[in-house]
Amino acid sequence: MAEQEKKSPYRVLIGKPGLDGHDRGAKFIARALRDEGFEVIYTGIRRSAAEIAATAVQEDVDAVGLSSLSGAHLRLFPEVIKELQTRGGGDIPVLGGGVIPDEDIELLLQAGVSAVFTPGTAAETFINAFTEACEKHSDDSGQ
Amino acid sequence: MTAGSNELLAGLARQDPRAIGRAISAVENNSEAAADILSSLDQDVIDSVLVLGITGPPGAGKSTLTSAMIRALRKKGNRLGIIAVDPSSPISGGAILGDRIRMMEHALDPDVVVRSMATRGRLGGLCASAGATVRIMAAAGCEIIIIETVGVGQSEMDIIRLADITLMVLAPGFGDDIQAMKAGLLEVADFLVVNKSDLAGADALCMDMEQVFHDKQEEDGIARVLQTIASLNQGIEQLLATVKTFGLHLETSGIKEERRHMALDAETLDWIMEILRPRFAQAMSEKTERKDPRIRAKELIKELVTRQEE
Ligand SMILES: Nc1nc2c(ncn2[C@@H]2O[C@H](COP(=O)(O)OP(=O)(O)O)[C@@H](O)[C@H]2O)c(=O)[nH]1
Ligand SMILES: [Mg+2]
């Protein structure tokens, strides 16, 4: 069974909205996903929600992962979701990670974030969450 | 033609970013809609775009230069497409596509269409997807399309065959890469861009390259070795003006058409390989044989052809 009909890799965008300049976490996630076979579009630090959403739509990704350490996640993550919706990308799931207090996690989930990670989250956990989100997205869009 | 492909085609005509992205995914993943989309595109539009290839070793400044060129070309009002290629990991098959980091200032410009693309471990197939992406971008109104790809080995530079004009970007401090490429440089590159000209060693590199490109330069009097400081936006206007002159020369001399024909042939050959590979893999898995591989290959081809004719 040399050349099986292989599924195309999932494409995800990892972005850092907001003003903090530390992207160790974002890069760690990007590399971990690459090592699991994802194609990861990395947009670098200090991006606006609109820039991230426009890029995600242009690149036709299956999921967007956001990282924020500045404490502005309650504003920024939902803003990305809103920007995606206005650009016709409301179907693209958004996952988020960073220094996020327990009480905010539920709020983010209610605001439409698909999964939330904190610095203690095991790599396996977020990789599974990305895989699930991408699977669901590509099934729904019939690709 | 399915409803889905009709919708995508209509979206392309409207220059809708979502439709452009989806159409490119369709061809990249070789999905059902791909054939519908590609066969419906207008060949005249495709013929009229200019495709620039930017290649060179990692870190030479290709993405920074691309971003600076976008800036200058947008001032002239051109709608642009960018295909930024990065290698897939041979182990996991995944990739980090980071070229966009240097192009984010254009993220909200609707007339800059960027697509990051991984090599997916099959350079032939990549040539096919990137070629199809060029045509989709052309259909979506892009007038100039830039393909950025890492080029250190000959095989990675294959994709550059898609380009009408190829720029090889080098920078001081890439001595080993440059020595390795020197012999093949003339074949692949129309222009040699010495970027990071703010760094020591740029002048020496230029002189070295002038020598390599001497004969070409004599032929038509167009400067082939150009200096830039992409991070400071310097040398870009000069570069674009020279490329434009060269582009006109290619057009009037018929070389552009010739290159397009060769590119199409190469792409067709890639498709033949893409299509045949799984069939032969299947045929091989059905019959294990301990023969000389070359003889076995010939027999398998013969078998497939006869089976086809029956
Ligand atoms: N000093 C100097 N640095 C540059 C110049 N152009 C790009 N760089 C830097 O070189 C590094 C690699 O650039 P990048 O565009 O990503 O290179 P690529 O891998 O060829 O696409 C980045 O840190 C750039 O800021 C230049 O003209 N001068
Ligand atoms: Mg680059």
Where do the structural domains in chain A lie, given as residue ranges? 11-140
Tell me the chain B residues in contact with residue A57 when contact means C-beta distances shorter than 8 Å: 17-18, 21
Look at residue A31 and tell me whether its pLDDT is greater than 70. yes
What single-letter amino acid sits at B121? G
Q: In the structure, what pLDDT confidence band is assigned to residue A6 with cuts at 50, 70 and 90?
A: low
- Three-state SS annotation for chain B: CCHHHHHHHHHHHCCCHHHHHHHHHHHHCCCHHHHHHHHCCCHHHHHHCEEEEEEECCCCCHHHHHHHHHHHHHHCCCCEEEEEEECCCCCCCCEEECHHHHHHHHCCCCCEEEEEEECCCCHHHHHHHHHHHHHHHHHCCCCEEEEEEECCCCHHHHHHHHCCEEEEEECCCCHHHHHHHHHHHHHHCCEEEECCCCCCCHHHHHHHHHHHCHHHHHHHCCCCEEECEHHHCECHHHHHHHHHHHHHHHHHHCHHHHHHHHHHHHHHHHHHHHHHHHHHHHHHHHCCCCCCHHHHHHHHHHHHHHHHHC
Confidence (pLDDT) at A142: 55
Distance CA A117, CA A96 (A): 6
Q: What is the pTM of this model?
A: 0.92
Q: What is the DSSP letter of A89?
A: -
CA of B286 to the centre of ligand 2 (A): 43
* pLDDT number for residue A143: 47
Q: Write down the domain spans for chain B.
A: 1-40, 41-252, 263-309
Q: Check residue B119 and give its pLDDT.
A: 87
Residue A78 or B221, more confident? A78
CA distance B129 to B149: 14
CATH class label, B41-252: alpha beta
* One-letter amino acid for residue B227 of the chain: Q
Interface confidence, given as ipTM, is 0.92
User: Cβ contact (<8 Å) for A88 and B118?
Assistant: no
Is the Cα torsion angle A34, A115, A96, A71 positive or negative in sign?
negative
Residue closest via CA to ligand 1's atom 17 equals: B61
Query: Distance, in angstroms, between B24 CA and closest chain A CA?
Result: 8
pLDDT tens, N- to C-terminus, chain B (310 residues): 777 889 999 999 999 999 999 999 999 888 888 888 988 888 888 888 999 999 988 999 999 999 999 999 999 999 999 999 988 898 999 999 999 999 999 999 999 999 999 988 765 567 778 889 999 999 999 999 999 998 765 555 667 778 999 999 999 988 777 777 777 777 788 999 999 999 999 999 999 899 989 988 888 889 999 999 999 999 999 999 999 999 999 999 999 999 899 888 888 887 788 788 888 988 888 888 888 989 999 999 998 888 776 6
- Which CATH code is given to the segment(s) A11-140? 3.40.50.280
Q: Which residues contact B273 (CB under 8 A, 6 or more apart)?
A: B124
pLDDT at A4 (0 to 100): 36
Cβ contacts of B93 on chain A, cutoff 8 Å: 9, 37
Give the mutation candidate from A29, A33, A60, A85 for the B interface (greatest B CB count, under 10 A): A60
Find the residue in A nearest to B97 (Cα). Answer: A41
